[in-house]
């Protein structure tokens, strides 16, 4: 039995995105076409590989085992193609990124890139977006966040950067959090150097919402711990909302702008390696 690489690719994308709907958007095919592909792969393997429900799709125990092989097979296929084409992704590359971008997934994504390209040495630093924007010479590729609202929400950036995600930003709190009718909202935030933190404070003041900053965390992980402890509410983009938290809706809390994540524009005369890795990241993060 020879497994079809195209079917394996679809299977991996479904597992990575968590649903056929999201996977269909990534591979630019219809959901019914992906469902048909998965039926063919399950028929070839002789057992179910995905569990599908209202919460999305996730691999069965057999699917988990196949997923590991599928990643290796796809990686070897890509390496073989690059070798034939004379492309070598090898060397050291410095990546700077905001920790708002997919904090629960980014480590796994970077680990897969490292496994697929063993000769590539990634040096990753997590920084505030403002610092990434201000000092682009300190790294090779930067991933930063901007807040966009109004008409800009539907427009792609026009300054050379590559848009990789646009996510809604909403008020969140722990599942068990209740606002007991106090006059001031308990707020957990990041330091003033954070653009989202400044937007939160500015928006609350503009709408004359009374609040107290009950905790200032140094990073998104600290916000997650504060929210899990039920200390208060905060704002986060969709991919940064931790397990156990939920969107908190109140007429008093104003709407927030969307978060836009982008790869900074290529630098003049950058090495070919950097361009290849940028294209790789675009494919991984799309």
User: pLDDT (tens digit, 9 = 90+) per residue, 66-83?
Assistant: 988 898 888 788 778 777
Top-ranked range on mean pLDDT: pick from 99-113, 148-162, 223-237 = 223-237
Among the listed residues 277, 280, 260, the one whose alpha carbon sits nearest the alpha carbon of residue 98: 260
Please give the pLDDT value at position 87: 67
Q: Six-digit token pair at 265? A: 């524009």
Residue written as token pair 């496994």: 115
> What is the Cα Rg of the chain in Å?
21
Cα–Cα distance for residue pair 234/171, rounded to 1 Å: 6
User: pLDDT (tens digit, 9 = 90+) per residue, 136-162?
Assistant: 888 999 999 999 876 454 455 556 788
- Reported as a pLDDT band with limits 50, 70 and 90, residue 119 is confident
User: pLDDT (tens digit, 9 = 90+) per residue, 194-204?
Assistant: 889 999 999 99
First to last CA, the chain: 32
């Amino acid at each position: 039995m020879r497994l079809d690489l195209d079917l394996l690719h679809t299977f991996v994308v479904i597992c990575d995105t968590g649903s056929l709907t999201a996977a269909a958007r990534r591979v630019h095919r219809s959901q019914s076409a992906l469902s048909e592909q998965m039926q063919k792969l399950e028929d070839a393997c002789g057992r179910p590989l995905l569990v599908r429900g209202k919460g999305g799709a996730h691999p069965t125990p057999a699917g988990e085992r196949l997923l590991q092989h599928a990643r290796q097979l796809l990686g070897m296929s890509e390496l073989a193609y690059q070798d034939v084409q004379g492309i070598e992704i090898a060397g050291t590359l410095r990546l700077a990124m905001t920790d708002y971008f997919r904090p629960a997934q980014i480590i796994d994504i970077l680990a897969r890139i490292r496994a697929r390209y063993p000769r590539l040495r990634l040096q990753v630093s997590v920084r505030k977006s403002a610092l990434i924007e201000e000092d682009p010479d300190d790294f090779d590729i930067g991933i930063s966040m901007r807040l966009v609202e109004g008409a800009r929400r539907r427009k792609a950036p026009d300054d050379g950067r590559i848009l990789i995600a646009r996510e809604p930003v909403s008020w969140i709190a722990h599942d068990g959090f209740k606002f007991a009718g106090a006059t001031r909202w308990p707020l957990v935030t990041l330091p003033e150097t954070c653009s989202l933190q400044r937007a939160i404070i500015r928006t609350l003041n503009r709408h004359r919402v009374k609040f107290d900053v009950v905790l200032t965390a140094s990073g998104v992980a600290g916000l997650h711990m504060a929210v899990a402890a039920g200390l208060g509410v905060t704002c986060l983009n969709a991919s940064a909302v931790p397990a156990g938290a939920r969107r908190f809706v109140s007429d008093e809390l104003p709407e927030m702008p969307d978060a836009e994540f982008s790869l900074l524009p290529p630098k003049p005369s950058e090495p070919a390696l950097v361009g290849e890795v940028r294209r790789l990241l675009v494919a991984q993060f799309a």
